[in-house]
Structure 1
Amino acid sequence: MPENLDDRVSRRRYERECNARSEAEALLEKKSRELFLANQELAQQSAKLEKAVEERTADLRHALEVAEAASTARSRFIATMSHEIRTPLGGLLGMIDLLSMDEADPGKLELLNYAKAAGTGLSRIVNDVLDFSKMEAGVFLFEQENVDIRALIESIRILIASNQHGADRKIICRIDDSVPKLFLGDATRIRQVISNLVNNALRYSTDGPIIVRASATDHAKGALLRVEVEDFGVGIDECQINNLFKDFSQIANPLTAAAQGTGLGLAISKRIVNGIGGTISVESTFGEGSTFWFEIPVAVVTNAHASGRDGGNEADRLAPVAIEGLRVLIAEDNVINQKLLLTYADRMGLKPDLAENGRIALDKFAPGKYDLVLMDIAMPEMDGLEATRRIRERWSGERLPPIFALTAHVADAIETEARSAGIDRILSKPIPFEELKTAISLAVLPDAAQPDRDGGVPRAVAATDEPAAAGATVLDLMSPEARTELLSFVGAERVAEYVRDFVKDCGERLEKLSAADRDGNAREVREQAHALRGSALLLGFTDLVELGRRIEFGDLGADDGSVAGAVAEFRKSLGVIDAALNR
């Protein structure tokens, strides 16, 4: 029976559907296979990526450990180098000090002063290099204290003017009224930056004044302090300015050969200023001169009676205290330092007891046996920190004497550990004789009102105490640190000359101050009192520094009564100093 048309059409449709289904199934199978393979590849890539991440994380962790180890090694290297350099340098300067004390021949004393100046210069270079290394290692710390920028700049001016390098140059200081009387900051580091800039100005100019300016503007922190140092020297080519603040960099010019140095002064200054949140730069015209400046935000101290610092040692504000007869335990392993410290102790009238290491110091120590302990940090068998820690633990309930750390290490790097061990004060080597003597005097100040071992009462002697000063020389009336610093720079004859000029200048300024007080000119009174204070500070007449401060800030008590009374007291002190000049 012949096939009809509908059947043929149905068969062809069926065949097409079967073929389409087969093609769809084949395509689905192909795509499923491709998806399976893609998932497999993705899983493999994911595993590889995870492994790569783990390996990279391990590499980064290892790199971090290596970096931390390198940083630790660098810090240890700095501490070691500091110790190894400063220990012999301290012995050298100390022996020069001892020779100077006994030398009467002016020619030999002059040579010793030159040797001391050279050693001090070497010490400054070492400190520059160590400061730079501390910054690199991240162990450079900043202090917070009251800073009197006016006294700081004035002391820099007078000290540099007394130095042979700056004796024939005029240094002009212009401090704007906008500058706060006191602010919080690191006085030592600010002094370091300004001194670097002023010394550079002297090195790279041959004539003309050096002008130091300070001004301030409002800032969220309190005030933005700006300090400028201008010279009229060779100037700097614009293309070389970017190299100024680079490490170990010096700009080539006709004066470079004479301007000796490490090339680190400006680099360190930049790091200091940046470290306290400030900015430092320069504006210069080649052949005409340069103005270096820095700006730092500071918190203003509003307490008018707060005591400010100018970056010097606090001993400049304190009169000496009798220390003869004090019993001192000296823990020191270095033979040269042993001899030096024992000789120092003998010259001071102390009763020393030597311990060659920390273990021996611990065995010798007992409460009430010593009035002070001088503990070297780096010693064999037991170091000074461990010995101090054990002393504090063993006699925790007893009244123990002050314990000073003597260290040639970087003081900043060990400060935290030293404090936790129970160290009362850190003294960095090299330690000059007068600095050590003053530190010991300060240590016994709390006991100054107690009877001493001979039944007397140790008494602080001010420069204006007439009975005590009756036979005193001018050098006796000066603070130990100022006396040592000035003698090392200019010698005894120049010091006497400066004191004569000081007495004459003070007499003139006191006349102006008295006239201003009678006229009701408070600003002139403050300015003259500030100038008197700055000059007295440099020469170490500590009672006059305090008297000038009280006049400047209007902090006159019952003893002074008025500006006129304070002026009379000032004149009385000048009379004592003038009389001492003739002895």
Structure 2
Amino acid sequence: MGSDEDKGVSRRRYNRAVAARAEAEKLLDEKSRALFEANEALREHQSALEDTVRERTADLQAALQKAQMASEVRARFIATMSHEIRTPLGGLMGIVDLLHMEESDPKKQELLSFAKTSGTALKTIVNDVLDFSKMEAGAFQFKTEQVDIRSLATGVAALARYSADETEREIEVEIGDDVPQRFYGDATRIRQVISNLVSNAVRYSTDGLISVRARMIEVDDAPWLRVEVEDFGVGIAADKRDDLFKDFSQVSNELSDQAQGTGLGLAISRRIIEGANGHIGVDSELGVGSTFWFEIPIEEVPHAPLSDPTTTAEVDNAEDIVRGARVLLAEDNTINQTLLMRFLKKMGVVATLAENGQVAVDLFRPGAFDLILMDVAMPVMDGLQAIRHIRDAHPPDQVPPISLLTAHVMETVADDAIAVGVEHVLSKPIAFDDLRLGIASLMTGRKVHSLSLSAPQAGSHVPVMDLMSEDISAGLAASLSGAEIEELAAQFVTDAESLWADVMKHSDDAASRGNCKAPAHALKGAAGLLGFATVSEHAAMVEESCAFLDAEDFDVIGGMIASELDRIRATLPSGASA
């Protein structure tokens, strides 16, 4: 047993332990209570924060909806103003042009010329401000389509060449062989940028060559298109170049007072190119000239595995294969109808004409035809729709070979042709021998030797053939008489004037300018078929860019087409008729 002293020590230790435990329990209780209170406060704060977040989110959503509504209202306003301003302005300038043509008093003609110049400047300002407003409102959108840079640049140059103070400027176009025939992009916006750069080159240089060039470059191992517009004008000082692409900015020089504008053309061009993920800039030397350029990434339109029978060769007896063949020809253009039907008759082909796709569908019967020649672009029902109807209505073994007829580049109809089961395309303009080769190739499924074909007796040379491209005139001379060629040319002039009148019906209304595409395409094809290259090029320009052109542009192009038609008419005898 321990002493009393040991027992006292043990009791004290016990009491201290009890006291310590009690203190710990008290402290733990206080901490637990504090933690509970903190959690409660945190839950209350979290709840309040969630309420605040919900309120703020609701406020932000309401603000976003208001902003979207405001943007939509602004976009609609700009679209309306675009139409309401441009339409009367186009009408006003058209009236001034008419008065200028009819006025004989030199003083009044001079005043009307001043009015026309002022109207042109106002049109440029209105277009720039409206486009800039569209960008600011978010209503300026890009679309993806197939772009033919060669046709596009040539069209811009042609307009600028004849619009430069009514004096022809020397504007050349050089497109590198490495540039794809077609690539994906926004043709309207690319054309707008090139047009702005060419317009500036004309305004800021008094004379000399203006060069539009395009070539391919590589950026990070990807294909990019580089376009340059070079002039030999006043040039730009180094310290002024940074201001060129700013909004409402113009560089002051001796031509600035004459070059009226808003200072928005280059700013809009910069936004377009940057919107296409590209770059834009300028290289210039004061007093020597400037080269404006832009670079954009592009994707080439792939070449589809279509075959063109006009390029084949290697089996004999094509004349015997073609003679007596029963062909259904679907073609709406009267010039194309006349020429192709005459060609088929001379081949000994039994041809049935359908004026559009719907008529072709109605005329088709299994076993009635050995071949179908189907134009693509036709009213009522186009060729592709007609082929679908025929294939859907009949078993495959009851549908004869089909060839598309098109004035488009083959690559542009490749996907559509393959989709309807067509593997062959005859590209307009189609020469006599090429058409006969194509028909024989399609009917036999083999290549046909061109040397086995005996061409019809050559017709005599007539004056109108001097205005045709050499290859087309040679082909016509080998298959038609001089009188027949003159009749076709006379009919072309009549049809061309009618087609251009159809184009002009929609030229004043921006909302319906897309309707100009069909008659322009028909005019391009008819002119190309007879080798009238100038008319075909101008019509192609309208077809490619009808939505972008304005009333004055249509007047300029129409004047050039009318002038060319007058030249054709002057070569024809008075008795020539369709």
With the length of structure 2 as denominator, give the TM-score of the two structures.
Answer: 0.51
Cα shift at 1:13: 1.4
Change in 2 beyond 3 A, CA 1:207/1:294: same
Cα shift at 1:56: 2.0
* 1:202 match: 202
Amino acid in structure 1 at the alignment position of 2:60 = L
Cα shift at 1:154: 2.8
Cα shift at 1:36: 2.4
* 1:8 match: 8
* 1:43 match: 43
Change in 2 beyond 3 A, CA 1:172/1:258: same
How do residues 377-392 of structure 1 correspond to structure 2 at under 5 angstroms? none
How do residues 379-418 of structure 1 correspond to structure 2 at under 5 angstroms? none
- Per-residue CA deviations over 1:123-154 (Å, capped at 9, x if unaligned) read 33322222222222233344555443223323
Contact 2:335 2:492 in 1 (8 A): no
- Per-residue CA deviations over 1:466-515 (Å, capped at 9, x if unaligned) read 458779999x879848999xxxxxxxxxxxxxxxxxxxxxxxxxxxxxxx
Q: Which moved more, 1:45-54 or 1:158-167?
A: 158-167
How do residues 114-513 of structure 1 correspond to structure 2 at under 5 angstroms? 115-116=115-116, 118-165=118-165, 167=167, 169-206=169-206, 208-217=208-217, 223-296=223-296, 297-300=298-301, 302=303, 466-467=486-487, 480=500
Amino acid in structure 1 at the alignment position of 2:300 = A
Q: Which moved more, 1:463-472 or 1:124-133?
A: 463-472
How far apart, in 2, do the equivalents of 1:111 and 1:471 lie? 40
How far apart, in 2, do the equivalents of 1:400 and 1:162 lie? 37
Contact 1:479 1:541 in 2 (8 A): no
Cα shift at 1:192: 1.8
Change in 2 beyond 3 A, CA 1:579/1:178: same
Change in 2 beyond 3 A, CA 1:148/1:31: closer
Q: Which moved more, 1:279-288 or 1:6-15?
A: 279-288
- Per-residue CA deviations over 1:240-268 (Å, capped at 9, x if unaligned) read 43332222222334433332111111122
Change in 2 beyond 3 A, CA 1:477/1:69: closer
* 2:19 match: 19
Instruction: Report 1 or 2 for greater relative contact order, CA contacts < 8 Å, sequence distance ≥ 6.
Output: 1
- Per-residue CA deviations over 1:61-119 (Å, capped at 9, x if unaligned) read 12211211221221122133224323432442454466567667677567556544543
User: What secondary structure, in the 3-state scheme, does the structure 2 residue paired with 1:60 have?
Assistant: helix
User: Is 1:56–2:56 an aligned residue pair?
Assistant: yes
Amino acid in structure 1 at the alignment position of 2:272 = I
How far apart, in 1, do the equivalents of 2:152 and 2:208 lie? 23
User: What secondary structure, in the 3-state scheme, does the structure 2 residue paired with 1:81 have?
Assistant: helix
Change in 2 beyond 3 A, CA 1:301/1:169: same
Contact 1:478 1:540 in 2 (8 A): no
Contact 2:211 2:230 in 1 (8 A): yes
User: What secondary structure, in the 3-state scheme, does the structure 1 residue paired with 2:39 have?
Assistant: helix
How far apart, in 2, do the equivalents of 1:42 and 1:288 lie? 74
Cα shift at 1:39: 1.6
User: What secondary structure, in the 3-state scheme, does the structure 2 residue paired with 1:55 have?
Assistant: helix
Cα shift at 1:9: 1.4
How far apart, in 1, do the equivalents of 2:176 and 2:273 lie? 21
User: What secondary structure, in the 3-state scheme, does the structure 2 residue paired with 1:36 have?
Assistant: helix
Cα shift at 1:207: 5.0
How far apart, in 2, do the equivalents of 1:319 and 1:143 lie? 34
User: Over aligned residues, Cα RMSD in angstroms?
Assistant: 4.8
Contact 2:175 2:213 in 1 (8 A): yes
* 1:411 match: none
Change in 2 beyond 3 A, CA 1:266/1:540: same
Contact 1:228 1:293 in 2 (8 A): yes
Contact 1:234 1:288 in 2 (8 A): yes
Change in 2 beyond 3 A, CA 1:48/1:287: farther
How far apart, in 2, do the equivalents of 1:319 and 1:276 lie? 42
Change in 2 beyond 3 A, CA 1:219/1:18: closer
User: What secondary structure, in the 3-state scheme, does the structure 1 residue paired with 2:68 have?
Assistant: helix
User: What secondary structure, in the 3-state scheme, does the structure 1 residue paired with 2:259 have?
Assistant: coil
How far apart, in 1, do the equivalents of 2:231 and 2:39 lie? 75
Amino acid in structure 2 at the alignment position of 1:40 = E
Q: Structure 2: which 5+ runs fail to align?
A: 309-332, 337-378, 382-464, 469-484, 505-527, 542-563
* 1:31 match: 31
* 1:79 match: 79
How far apart, in 2, do the equivalents of 1:271 and 1:36 lie? 59
Contact 1:146 1:301 in 2 (8 A): no
Change in 2 beyond 3 A, CA 1:61/1:159: closer
How far apart, in 2, do the equivalents of 1:65 and 1:76 lie? 16
Contact 1:229 1:292 in 2 (8 A): yes
Change in 2 beyond 3 A, CA 1:218/1:4: closer
With the length of structure 1 as denominator, give the TM-score of the two structures.
Answer: 0.51
Contact 1:479 1:540 in 2 (8 A): no
Change in 2 beyond 3 A, CA 1:114/1:180: farther
- Per-residue CA deviations over 1:297-339 (Å, capped at 9, x if unaligned) read 1433637999xxxxxxxxxxx8999xxxxxxxxxxxxxxxxxx
Amino acid in structure 1 at the alignment position of 2:48 = K
Change in 2 beyond 3 A, CA 1:470/1:108: farther
Cα shift at 1:575: 7.5
Q: How many residues align?
A: 358
How far apart, in 2, do the equivalents of 1:143 and 1:473 lie? 36
How do residues 85-124 of structure 1 correspond to structure 2 at under 5 angstroms? 85-96=85-96, 99=99, 112=112, 115-116=115-116, 118-124=118-124
How far apart, in 1, do the equivalents of 2:29 and 2:75 lie? 68
* 1:576 match: 568
Cα shift at 1:12: 1.3
How far apart, in 1, do the equivalents of 2:258 and 2:210 lie? 18
- Per-residue CA deviations over 1:410-468 (Å, capped at 9, x if unaligned) read xxxxxxxxxxxxxxxxxxxxxxxxxxxxxxxxxxxxxxxxxxxxxxxxxxxx9987458
